[in-house]
A and B are shown apart, each in its own frame.
Chain A
């Protein structure tokens, strides 16, 4: 079945540091890939997405590239801010499973 493996947290960085959160997946066919963010006390918000190989999703300074050869969708940001502190979820949607499959989430804390 489909699965998503995320880098285990928590991750603690200083403001303006470079961020990478690793995500790899297993799926049949050609899934769509997503990153969601959950701020404290809130629901999940879509951060970015990519629907086919080599697509790059980007939003709010975050980027992720759909790499089919390595089955990865790593999240990166060049300079994090305190306001980026949240839990980040990698997810995939495949037509065969007809549902979103989420990774376990990675807690990010950015210190001033």
Chain B
């Protein structure tokens, strides 16, 4: 059984389009994240949701909007795509235990290519 799943795995689109990436976890975790990994493998956190509330919002353009319909899902919507948005996007989840966040479990990633 897949713990953290993402769809699609590959996404090729043109500049200016709007696209969404979906993420689901079946681990019963209460915190979910979106990361962006650039071509040099550098990982940057974009968003974090705990019990459907945004708790981290790093300096990400407002073209990116996370949507969490319930604590098992965290989708990422991107408006007006730009060339610089090309990257691999990872979803992750974790459980907050006693005020400390436990290790994070990552999805397989979505490779976004903007042409």
Interface residues of A (CB under 8 A from B): 32, 34, 36, 38, 42-46, 49, 87, 89, 93, 95, 98-100, 102, 104-105, 107
Interface residues of B (CB under 8 A from A): 4, 40-43, 45, 48, 55-56, 90, 92, 99-101, 103-109
Chain A binding surface SS class:
strand
How many residue-residue contacts, CB under 8 A, span A and B? 47
Q: Which of chain A's residues have a CB closer than 8 A to the CB of B104?
A: 46, 100
List the 8 shortest-distance A-B pairs measured between CB atoms, nearest first: A43-B106, A44-B106, A105-B41, A102-B43, A43-B108, A46-B103, A43-B109, A43-B107
Counting chain B CB atoms within 10 Å of each CB, which of A43, A102, A104, A105 scores highest?
A43
The chain B residue with its CB closest to the CB of A107 is: B41
